[in-house]
Amino acid sequence: MRIIIFGPQGSGKGTQAELIARRHHLPYISTGDIFRYHLKNQTELGKKIGVYINAGKLVSDDLTNEIVKNRIDQPDCAVGFVLDGYPRDQVQFDFLYQLTKIDFVIVIELIDQEAIRRLGGRLACKCGLSYHLDFNPPKKTGVCDRCGHALFKRDDDQLEAIKKRLAIYHQETEPIFAAYLKDGILYHIDGSKSIEEVYQQIEKIIHQNS
């Protein structure tokens, strides 16, 4: 099963993608997490992308497409995957479209105002999990429940960078939904509900259409 999760920054894509991946034993692929890994470890790629990420701008399509192709070609993706944060524009969409078939495209809907409010309290872990100070706190303050690493506030979770990312989402990412709608695989979800309720909406869609 190959699933893509879309939604504005802060809508809960990462949170939901991780739950779905765990439930269905699928790899969870987040281009943002992959880029942050390279940035933190200052790999060749990491040195090239830092300026874009911290400013809330997109990394080039060529670099991004290559990273995704390499990841999807790994043996663990033979059973499928849950993709979060990709594709984000027409060029990436075209690349993925010729690369592999997608079964479900889920769009988590949330107004920008609420998304910004959520991101203000977001705590991230390098393992890909994200927490919220009020809505989804870790069991132990500042530490990831799953892997025990210290949680951090992302450098790009600042109001200016958040607004820029939301604008790019509306301008560059939303227009690509039309093609998935045409293919009959696009589903919209109400993201304003609790984490558990949003998750149940997604499971229902997968169940009813499998």
What does the binding site for Zn ion look like in residue numbers (CB under 5 A)?
Answer: 125, 127, 129, 144, 146-147, 149
Token reading at 183:
């293919």
Q: Is 11 annotated as a binding residue?
A: yes
Q: Is 15 in the site for ligand ADP (CB under 6 A)?
A: yes
Task: Specify whether 88 is catalytic.
Answer: yes
42: left (phi over 0), alpha (psi -120 to 50) or beta: left
- Which one, 65 or 80, has the nearer CB to ligand ADP? 65
Token reading at 176:
């690509």
- Rounded to whole angstroms, how far apart are CA atoms 68 and 147? 24
- Which of the 8 DSSP states describes residue 180? H
Handedness of CA 142, 146, 147, 148 (dihedral sign): positive
For residues 160-188, b (16+ Cβ closer than 10 Å) or e, as one string? Answer: ebbebbbebbeebbeebeeebeeeebbbb
Per partner kind, with CB cut-offs from 5 to 8 A, the member of ligand ADP, Zn ion, none near residue 144 is Zn ion
Pick the catalytic residue from 48, 117, 153, 154: 154
- Rounded to whole angstroms, how far apart are CA atoms 40 and 126? 10
Q: Is 9 in the site for ligand ADP (CB under 6 A)?
A: yes
Q: Tokens 């879309």 identify what position?
A: 6
- Rounded to whole angstroms, how far apart are CA atoms 117 and 155? 16
Task: Specify whether 122 is catalytic.
Answer: yes
> Binding to ligand ADP (CB under 6 A): which residues in 186-205?
194-195, 198
- Which one, 96 or 185, has the nearer CB to ligand ADP? 96
Q: Is 173 in the site for ligand ADP (CB under 6 A)?
A: no
Nearest distance from C-beta of residue 83 to Zn ion, angstroms: 20
The interface region with ligand ADP, picked from 69-77, 115-123, 139-147, 202-210 by CB under 6 A, is: 115-123
* Catalytic annotation, residues: 13, 88, 122, 154, 165
Residues forming contacts to ligand ADP in the complex (CB under 6 A) are: 7, 9-15, 31-32, 35, 52-53, 56-59, 64, 85-86, 88, 92, 118-119, 121-122, 130-132, 135-136, 156, 165, 194-195, 198
